[in-house]
Structure 1
């Protein structure tokens, strides 16, 4: 598959030449610095800047995914945005739009509909953001219930490979009840957009072979791995999947209502514990206000990245209010005086629980009162 259409590839080529001011040879190593030496070794060389850009883009077009789940174009765009931030506003906006399109297509997440205008456009910066120390203690306790999930792509009963290595999809999951973890439907599908859904047999095989890694908090300690999960229920529209695993770990409390706005603040805060880009566990607790809500979704400014799909979205009492699923490019939205590139989207826990109660016979999931 290709993440961009032909016109967008041509536009991207022009943008890269514009922001590097024709000195692509100097910037090229930086743009590819986040990729492995093995991948960089296959890139062709040409002394003409425009020709070199086209060759590099064609290579990434032909290799949309590396076996370890890395998307070369995602890394390339991220480096371009980071290194030229604020220097070329219109070009930067287009790069961010391309990056959002790449990530949505690669994840296989269902498209997010048009955003309503954000209810919070300008956060109050000068407010009392101090919290009791118990906030951090509860955050640490909550993190024990959050895990990285690695799902292999299986086609017709066989593991998919790239250059002999398995194709893996990274996400985040968390314990919503004893022995029950929640993640996104698109995470267990392990398919890019436009490639078709996994068959029921392949889906069960992917869930069974998925590796759920608790305690992956840093690179120096061994994670606790759990496999042989079983799919209980999933829904594409709400983008959730409920899996049963063998675990005696603590689970997270769920809040059915939207958190109230604290006195003196403009909006409630929403915190996310996640495994961005399949890396170690990280926590987002700053610049994290809720933007808006509907019956089934929450929108928020909290930082996330690819691999954060399936993360729990917490209120300040560390109860889960939503399941993080995706993001969408935002236009004409400001946060703390700056234009916002993206708004994040989560499925409200109240909508997920209502769906389960509606579609499953009573007593199917007693742990959730269903």
Structure 2
């Protein structure tokens, strides 16, 4: 490199900062922007305070996204989001004077703030009409005012130094190197990565090695060595903003993808531990309860794993979209005269050959983990079905005692494969809420590690330490521990392990505290319920033949003349039940899983199933905004239809290929299921449709359902009236989780309506007529309608 004389410099230099900051993200929840969105404007105000620039100090008064000096981004919605000038009255720029810092050099400035779709962008330029020597160029970036951390834009930033060299040079690259060194502080370093020509004048590109976009330095040096057409220069300014935005967006998204990749690979690394845990469980007694807990944990890790894979795929798609936009802007720039920008074609190749290919490689690797996880889940499912029945002592010898059915609190999340009514058969519904709340208030339940340490340090609990459920919620941690321990007994003392836990927790708490008293009360109430049962035979009353008892039997033989039912009808109902599934849809809000609600669905062909739209959406329309397209796709990708779920630990799962059609008004959705080789859907009958039924008050109905996500049940009722031309009201009992269930005509066991939910005004249940659904499909999706009708016709032959 040739040394440049210190007195060499630029005529009329300018330094422009292009900074890009994230305004919106899929993770922002119900807020109008991400929490950090206004930071860019706050940083500019801070600059105004430090450098006494009045127009920057009062910047919020100049922006449309502020009202009364308070950030109010909703007002931007009335403008176009693709490109919005954020200054009041659409002024072109905010112009200001910068007080000279040294040697009387006068600087002027202008700020152009924009919104570009999901991004805030600024064009902040400092310029002078004077001639600056190399040593004076640092005044354009006085005190690093245009570098991080004074400006820390989340997507990244570019500095453009422009000016006319005072003398022609044989090697402008050496001159550019000297200028870059001068405007940067000693702690910032960049490397020259490419060169080119823009409007016949040399341009040089520099970049630092930072991976964090907010810290990365990207610098362009453009020399004016010959005159340029002003119209062409205006076009450059317009195109350059978009081009740099796409460039920084690509780098930012790739940086985010590295975080997802690390998280997913961390989960992948845990798979071996889960496989080892499965093999350990199969060598122990009381396998079923441990396998169920393992199944829940695998479902949770599967959802989290799928989320990261989905985000990686989204990142790859976002990079591809921005790469296409970048290419379009680059082509427009290169269409200008005397322009050769091979430097930016290199970035395109870098994006394709490095960034996108790396994400694709990551996804291929991580998909193997998903396959391993699915295989392990299927193996655990099969093991649960074949595991021996546990804890015979709870059945009181040869006579079976019906366990109490538990009513769960509203905030208990339902998980795949878990029959929620059977997890805690011995805890009465009036005790259970107090029990889990009390446990969650104990310090030992604050974190997973604290709970594990507590079990590990107590010999009476140590045997249950390794399989303790882990979760991020204290409440859910308490609920899962109850489910894990309520039917666990020590082999030596026959004591219930949950009772042991309660006693040990009580010893850790000061007797004067209310928590100690609550634990004492719970122990007293649960002692007789969870006490080990006697192995002696129950006392049975034997009825001998005697005249009085025989006479009594005669008197009780159907004294009211109630009807009896043919077994053939039950057989038809059971055949119908095999086409009905529990629907598990993870509620994903801004990419994060909130909970797992359930519904019901059923086969209308061997591949297509019907359920309610609101089951797939998993939103409360009264309190929540409609679902985003991104969240909907993730929910569909992770939804599960479980058939033959007639008791805890059994059932066959099918994922979704896609949602074929939905109708918000009629509240229905048609989905296509992903088939399984080990249990093809063709073996499973689908339900017939009765679209021509003439509803009458005597029309008797069955509803096959999975209320509250429980094993399959059915209820009966009658048609009551038409709610409107598309809906009926019926009286069959239903509960939360029944939505999407088939409403069957008792006389022919065909579906006449799709259950939607409760009509609070009428105190009856609503259901959409099958006739209305078929009519909508015929009008809006004729091919899908023909597919269903063809299958139904064959089903009737």
TM-score if structure 1 supplies the norm length? 0.59
Specify every segment of 5 or more residues in structure 2 that has no aligned partner in the other structure, as ranges: 1-426, 443-474, 480-559, 676-680, 791-797
Equivalent residue, structure 1, for 2:786? 366
Gap change, CA 1:259 and 1:274, over 3 Å in 2:
farther
Q: How much does 1:269 deviate?
A: 0.6
Any idea what the Cα deviations from partners look like across 1:24-73, whole Å, max 9, x if unmatched? xxxxx9775454843454579xxxxxxxxxxxxxxxxxxxxx879x9xxx
Aligned counterpart for 1:241 among listed residues 669, 672, 675:
669
Distance 2:698 2:670 in 1: 30
Equivalent residue, structure 2, for 1:207? 636
Q: How much does 1:222 deviate?
A: 1.8
Equivalent residue, structure 1, for 2:777? 356
Q: How much does 1:321 deviate?
A: 0.3
Distance 1:188 1:327 in 2: 18
Gap change, CA 1:40 and 1:306, over 3 Å in 2:
farther
SS in 2 for 1:181: strand
Distance 1:367 1:67 in 2: 44
Specify every segment of 5 or more residues in structure 1 that has no aligned partner in the other structure, as ranges: 1-28, 45-65, 71-125, 162-166, 332-341
CA contact (8 A) 1:182 1:241 kept: yes
Residue 251, structure 1, aligned to residue 718, structure 2: no
Please identify which structure carries the higher helix content: 2
Q: How much does 1:228 deviate?
A: 3.3
Gap change, CA 1:318 and 1:201, over 3 Å in 2:
same
Alignment of 1:21-32 (within 5 A): none
In terms of Rg, which structure is larger?
2
Residue 343, structure 1, aligned to residue 764, structure 2: yes
Equivalent residue, structure 1, for 2:627? 198
Gap change, CA 1:208 and 1:35, over 3 Å in 2:
farther
CA contact (8 A) 1:210 1:229 kept: no
Distance 1:184 1:67 in 2: 28
Distance 1:259 1:253 in 2: 16
Distance 1:127 1:267 in 2: 20
Gap change, CA 1:297 and 1:169, over 3 Å in 2:
same
Distance 1:171 1:151 in 2: 8
Alignment of 1:177-326 (within 5 A): 177-193=605-621, 194-219=623-648, 221-245=649-673, 246=675, 247-248=681-682, 249-259=684-694, 267-285=698-716, 288-293=717-722, 294-316=724-746, 317-326=748-757
Deviates more, 1:266-275 or 1:126-135: 126-135
Distance 1:197 1:155 in 2: 10
CA contact (8 A) 1:67 1:168 kept: no
Gap change, CA 1:42 and 1:135, over 3 Å in 2:
same
CA contact (8 A) 2:611 2:669 kept: yes
Number of residues of Structure 1 aligned to a counterpart in Structure 2: 241
Q: How much does 1:192 deviate?
A: 2.2
Gap change, CA 1:33 and 1:318, over 3 Å in 2:
farther
CA contact (8 A) 1:173 1:183 kept: yes
Any idea what the Cα deviations from partners look like across 1:297-343, whole Å, max 9, x if unmatched? 11111010000000000001110000000112356xxxxxxxxxx20
SS in 1 for 2:597: strand
Equivalent residue, structure 2, for 1:160? 593
Distance 1:269 1:139 in 2: 14
Q: How much does 1:178 deviate?
A: 1.8
Distance 2:619 2:605 in 1: 27
SS in 1 for 2:688: coil
CA contact (8 A) 2:774 2:785 kept: no
Distance 1:34 1:175 in 2: 36
Gap change, CA 1:168 and 1:318, over 3 Å in 2:
same
Aligned counterpart for 2:599 among listed residues 148, 158, 171:
171
Aligned counterpart for 1:149 among listed residues 580, 583, 586:
583
Gap change, CA 1:140 and 1:201, over 3 Å in 2:
same
Q: How much does 1:208 deviate?
A: 1.3
CA contact (8 A) 1:32 1:40 kept: no
Gap change, CA 1:307 and 1:207, over 3 Å in 2:
same
SS in 1 for 2:604: strand
Gap change, CA 1:305 and 1:40, over 3 Å in 2:
farther
Distance 2:578 2:598 in 1: 19
Residue 132, structure 1, aligned to residue 552, structure 2: no
Any idea what the Cα deviations from partners look like across 1:207-247, whole Å, max 9, x if unmatched? 1100111111012x421011133100011110001000023
Distance 1:277 1:300 in 2: 20
Alignment of 1:41-120 (within 5 A): 41-42=439-440
CA contact (8 A) 1:152 1:159 kept: no
CA contact (8 A) 1:217 1:280 kept: yes
Deviates more, 1:203-212 or 1:344-353: 203-212
CA contact (8 A) 2:587 2:596 kept: yes
Gap change, CA 1:40 and 1:256, over 3 Å in 2:
farther
